[in-house]
Amino acid sequence: MERRKFLATSSVAGGVAVGMAAPALAQTSNQPDIRWRCASSYPKTLHTIYGAMEMVTKRVAELTNGHFRISLHAAGELLPALQVLDGVQNGTVEAGHSASYFYIGKDPAFGFGTAMPFGLNARAQNAWMYEGGGLEMLNEFYATQGVTSLPVGNTGAQMAGWYRKEIKTVADLVGLKFRVGGLAGMVLTKLGVVPQQLAAGDIYPALEKGVIDAAEFVGPFDDQRLGLNKVAKYYYFPGWWEGSATLTMFINPKAWDALPPSYKAALQVASAEANQWCTAKYDVGNPTALRQLVAGGAQLRSFPKPVMQASFKAAETLYQELSDKSPAFKKIYVPWKKFRDEQLMWAQFCEAPFDNFMAGTIKRV
């Protein structure tokens, strides 16, 4: 994806490219008119996740004087929500906006593109993607799957979802039918959970009808929009399976290769801008939404330490098993784990103690 060349010509803050002057891209003569279609895994009602990809389409058009346009289509309009990657692979659409971990059934290495249980927070995830070799490793793997990618949106750390009953011990997880995405389901299976992967629009009716007992999605801002608080009252934290979650723009390689260099640059700049905006949007929206949910009757609960410890142990066991089975997973996991541990070492001297102290200066919700 010519990352170094891209970053050398862009403004960078905190490891994330945040803008490029439009004239630098728009002055290219004889610009061809190119039209793409992008299928999303998300409904339009999720203003931040869906909105991040909307931002990309608008910025690309602006940066190319309207010569490169991408039409964005919500889940179900062109493709079913969980078949977006397939549509990009087979050329039905030029691009798709989805979560890579929806596709771990193809290979568990897809999990790294979105979130890993007990993995990276948003800041570390962006550091890994943009400067830690993460995007290069992911695209090397994605090339074997017939796509390439750009990160478009990070939710930040997530909540652990909505439950009809309290989770007081590990035994309370046994038999729990839980909507959860990615490798978290594989971890929780080891603790007796029955994971269900459902698209965003299917979560509320499944929880309402009792098809599932609990569900996680993102956090207060989106959970409130989905109405999950209306069908389950216990709201748990932390969402250890998603210390952050990156959304991905999958791109058909033939479509990518056909783009002029200036259009590729426009797409890279727009995706990086949207990736940063998405986290900021959630950071602004989540506090207010959380207060409103609690005022409306939501009962906040934290997972007991034994549940957290059992979950961590199960995750570490799973990672070893997957490394033994999938060469692609192991190739990414080994350097990813080293990066994670280095970030945790650094955070304990700076971010973590500062955040913990400041959190202690205010009243809890």
- Same domain flag for 305 and 270: no
Q: Are 79 and 146 in contact (CB under 8 A)?
A: no
- Same domain flag for 184 and 80: no
How far apart CA 220 and CA 198 sit, in angstroms, is 19
How far apart CA 106 and CA 104 sit, in angstroms, is 5
- Same domain flag for 226 and 308: yes
How far apart CA 22 and CA 27 sit, in angstroms, is 9
Q: What is the pLDDT along the chain (365 residues), one digit of tens a residue?
A: 444 443 333 433 333 444 444 444 445 458 999 999 999 999 999 999 999 999 999 999 999 999 999 999 999 999 999 999 999 999 999 999 999 999 999 999 999 999 999 999 999 999 999 999 999 999 999 999 999 999 999 999 999 999 999 999 999 999 999 999 889 999 999 999 999 989 898 999 999 999 999 999 999 999 999 999 999 999 999 999 999 999 999 999 999 999 999 999 999 999 999 999 999 999 999 999 999 999 999 999 999 999 999 999 999 999 999 999 999 999 999 999 999 999 999 999 999 999 999 999 998 88
Q: How many domains does the chain have?
A: 2
In a domain, 361, yes or no: no
- Same domain flag for 168 and 136: no
How far apart CA 219 and CA 202 sit, in angstroms, is 17
- Same domain flag for 128 and 226: no
- Same domain flag for 45 and 127: yes
The predicted structure's pLDDT at residue 9: 37
Picking from 168, 179, 261, the residue whose alpha carbon sits closest to that of residue 218 is 179
In a domain, 289, yes or no: no
In a domain, 358, yes or no: no
SS3 of residue 65 by DSSP: coil
Domain of residue 166, residue span? 161-242+300-347
The predicted structure's pLDDT at residue 6: 39
CA distances from 276 to 131, 152, 179, 272 (A): 15, 8, 27, 6
Tens digit of pLDDT for each residue in 319-329?
999 999 999 99
In a domain, 9, yes or no: yes
Q: Are 250 and 149 in contact (CB under 8 A)?
A: yes
The predicted structure's pLDDT at residue 96: 98
For Cα atoms 58, 287, 357, give the angle at the middle one, nearest 5 degrees. 120
Q: Could you tell me the CATH number of the domain that includes residue 319?
A: 3.40.190.10
Total Cβ atoms within 10 A of residue 341: 10
The predicted structure's pLDDT at residue 29: 57
Supply the DSSP string of 87-141, one letter for each residue: HHHTTSSSEEEE-GGGGTTT-GGGGGGT--TT---HHHHHHHHHTSSHHHHHHHH
How far apart CA 194 and CA 214 sit, in angstroms, is 10
Q: Which amino acid is at 339?
A: F
- Measured torsion, CA atoms of residues 235, 100, 106, 316, in degrees rounded to the nearest 10: -60
In a domain, 238, yes or no: yes
Supply the DSSP string of 255-304, one letter for each residue: HHHTS-HHHHHHHHHHHHHHHHHHHHHHHHHHHHHHHHHHHTT-EEEEPP
How far apart CA 53 and CA 60 sit, in angstroms, is 11
- Same domain flag for 194 and 258: no
In a domain, 172, yes or no: yes
- Same domain flag for 312 and 199: yes
- Same domain flag for 62 and 167: no
- Same domain flag for 173 and 216: yes
- Same domain flag for 26 and 150: yes
How far apart CA 10 and CA 153 sit, in angstroms, is 19
In the chain, at which residue ranges do the beta strands (DSSP E only) sit? 11-13, 16-19, 34-40, 68-73, 95-98, 148-154, 161-163, 177-179, 194-196, 214-215, 234-237, 246-251, 299-302
Q: Could you tell me the CATH number of the domain that includes residue 264?
A: 3.40.190.170
In a domain, 330, yes or no: yes
Q: Find how far residue 298's CA is from the centre of its chain.
A: 25
- Same domain flag for 224 and 249: no
The predicted structure's pLDDT at residue 23: 43
In a domain, 120, yes or no: yes
